Structure 1
Amino acid sequence: MGASILHITNGDSTTNYLKKLKFSGEFITWREMLCEGKTTTDVGSEAFWKNRFDFFKSSYKVSKQKFIDYTLKEYRSLCNKKNQKEIVLWFEYDLFCQINMIAVISWLKRYRKGYHISLVCSGKVGNSKLMYALPELNENQIHSHFKNRIELSQDDIEYADYIWQLYCSDSPLQLERVYKTKTNSTFTYLASAVEAHLKRYPSIENGLNSVENSILRTAVQEKPKTKNQFIGQLLKDEDVYGYGDLQYENKLNELGKLFHSFNPVKLSKIGKNVLENQLNFYGQIRNDISYLGGSKKYSFLYHNKSEKLFQITS
């Protein structure tokens, strides 16, 4: 593990864990959640970061100073690191990580052409059915993952960049076609992440997407006594998305009319009717400012039985 390695990690927990285990090299933590809010293909440009700040400010009340300190300073540090012989990417299996990963690879394709780039991606370990985050791996497992890291070919880099371009387009329909037909074995978890992404468009059945319907089902099935317990259960159950507590808190605010109370957690009459597909909530929840990648969330509908997306035409 030479000092000429630059590690780009998926978050502070991974960075701190690798440093604790005495991994040598330099570290950059990619502090973004590109699975939420509008994205554009030009990762790192002034327009890209302005767009991202606008999203964080409006959706999460993030101040400009916090955005600069937490995200932009780390990105600028990445821009200044050009001397390492190898760049190792550390990302996980979930949607949150996979979208960040392909965005980083798109940036590397443009600004670090010819560099030796490799990938460590956690998920399944051995025959276990459980999925593991990087900090959940023990010391031997994390070293084994590093030793067996995958060197990305130019074709791999081109593929990841292509999926990123499609993710940022104003329509998800081509992404829907491509991810099934043009697969890449290097990125073990990317197809399942894209599938989870497509299910985030509102369903034809009741106007809520897969995440939102799962929130309602969990409320009914688990009967959480408090909001914190509710969010904890969602974090445990919905690991394919990789969402954090702030994202679920935001979701619950959006779905407020569907709940009678959060302490204890109970659906309202409207919420029960929506969950049972007796009422379509699309008209009440629809807006023109919600984006998934480059496309407007409410301009497309997901049909669960056929597992296909349809564009809404005016």
Structure 2
Amino acid sequence: MTSGLNITNGDCAGGGMRAAQIPGEILSWRDVLHEGPVPAGLSLAELSKVRAAFIADQGMGERADIEKSFAERDDALRRFTDNDEVILWFEWDLYDQLQLIQILDFLSQFSREHLAETGTKVSMVSFAGYLGNLSVDAFVPLYDARIEVSAAMMETGRLAWGSFRDPEPRGILELIRGDTSALPFLEGALLRHLEEFPSTRNGLSRSERQLLETVARGPVTFSEAFIRVANREERIFCGDATMAGYLERMSDGDEPLVTYPSGERIKAATNDEDSAAFRNAQLSLTPAGRAVLECDRDWIEMGGSDRWLGGVHLAGREASWRWDADSHALRSPRMAT
């Protein structure tokens, strides 16, 4: 057996762990699971192909390269019992918590008796903050304070991952209204996920609303808007590439909500050459955007956008779920409320 397998969110955290000489292999998960399809009923390998296709379609790499990276990652996870210990290093935000519950769901297939027979221990470092921002000397104390993953943690992760991938999302709400204390950051993370469903007020997700509100206060560039929107989040929610995608989505359709001051539609930069111009260009709220922001019109009724939230496909005007921020409830226009 090797000394251990450390699984974490991405390369920044992994780099800090390497610099701190944390023992064992370091595996970065590298998937923004709160964006794009995460449908139910697929194996780990099948889902990774779906995820690779989505990420490539967003201009974040070549599909073949992403598939290869995910296949190597998945293979390392499947061989986890080759290690005497697997340590899960994850933060408190939605990005990390979704990766954590995906991994816990996979590990939950193996009984504690099986793990005892293989001699593999599963531990966790659950961090209220951002591992990538830590100094090198902060990693060893976290490693020393790791705790063993309990049966309750495994079961909570399994239930949460199943609910997240379900095309009927009210299971997420039922889960967080129950006891998720085994994973103390899960409730807040999944609540933030639910806030991305179209609002019952105007059809905007929380991210879309915050972005439009920032543009409405203009003048503002994309770089400035990104910082201002990010500062309104309780925990880091998304990176600039993801937010650029939101902006492009709201500039599409028959009646864009936001454009450049010239009226030109916004297209997110796809290469370094275009990036500086995109980041420094001013943004402008359209009359339609202002009407939606003031709840005089509804973004979904205007056409909305085609996006996936976990296992739920929100297909423009056909989007079948809304988030009621006042009552913290999911509503379906197709069902009696």
TM range (shorter): 0.7 to 0.9
Q: TM-score, normalised by structure 1?
A: 0.87
Report what 2:64 is aligned to: 65
Structure 2 counterpart SS, 1:242: coil
Matched letter for residue 249 of structure 1: A
| Aligned residue number for residue 247 of structure 1 | 242
1:301 to 315, 322, 335: 322
2:193 corresponds to 1:178: no
Structure 2: 5+ residue stretches without partners: 262-280
Structure 1 residue 85 corresponds to structure 2 residue 84: yes
1:193 Cα offset (Å): 0.6
> Hey, what's the Cα distance between the residues in 2 that align with 1:177 and 1:241?
24
- Unpaired segments of 5 or more residues in structure 1? 124-131
Instruction: Read off the aligned partner of 2:210 and give its amino acid letter.
Output: S
Does residue 212 of structure 2 align to residue 216 of structure 1?
A: yes
User: What is the RMSD computed on CA atoms of the aligned residues?
Assistant: 2.4
2:123 aligned counterpart, secondary structure: strand
In structure 1, C-alpha distance between the alignment counterparts of 2:44 and 2:155, rounded to whole Å: 20
In the alignment, what sits opposite 2:332?
311
Give how far 1:214 is off: 1.0
In the alignment, is the contact (CA less than 8 A) between 1:93 and 1:122 conserved in 2?
yes
Shift of residue 305, structure 1, vs aligned partner: 1.5
Q: Counterpart of 1:146 in 2: which secondary structure?
A: helix
Instruction: Identify the match of residue 192 of structure 2 among 192, 196, 212.
Output: 196
Letter in 2 for 1:21: A
Aligned twin of 1:151:
148
- Shift of the 42–7 alpha-carbon distance from structure 1 to 2, 3 Å rule, reads farther
- Aligned AA for 2:334? T
Cα separation, 1, equivalents of 2:215 and 2:127: 30
Q: Distance in 2 between matches of 1:135 and 1:61?
A: 20
Matched, 1:33 2:54: no
Would the alpha carbon gap of residues 240 and 284 (structure 1) be closer, same or farther in structure 2, given more than 3 Å must change?
farther
Q: Secondary structure at the match of 1:302?
A: strand
CA gap 1:78/1:177 in 2 versus in 1, 3 angstroms: closer
The alignment's TM-score, normalised by the length of structure 2, stands at 0.82
Tell me the secondary structure at the aligned position of residue 260 of structure 2. Answer: strand
Moved more, 141-150 or 8-17: 141-150
- 1:207 paired with 2:203, answer yes
Q: Is the 8 A contact 2:156 2:182 kept in 1?
A: no
Q: CA deviation at 1:62?
A: 4.2
Identity %: 23
For the 8 Å contact 1:118–1:152, the answer to whether it is kept is yes
How far apart are the structure 2 equivalents of 1:191 and 1:45?
A: 24
Which of 224, 229, 243 is equivalent to 1:229? 224
CA contact (8 A) 1:41 1:164 kept: no
How many correspondences in the alignment?
302
Match of 1:128 in 2: none
Deviates most, 243-252 or 136-145: 136-145
In the alignment, is residue 138 of structure 1 matched against residue 135 of structure 2? yes
**Matched residue of 1:282: which SS?**
coil
**Farther off after superposition, 277-286 or 234-243:** 234-243
Deviation (angstroms), 1:176: 0.7
Where do residues 279-294 of structure 1 align in structure 2 (5 Å cutoff)? 279-286=297-304, 289-294=306-311
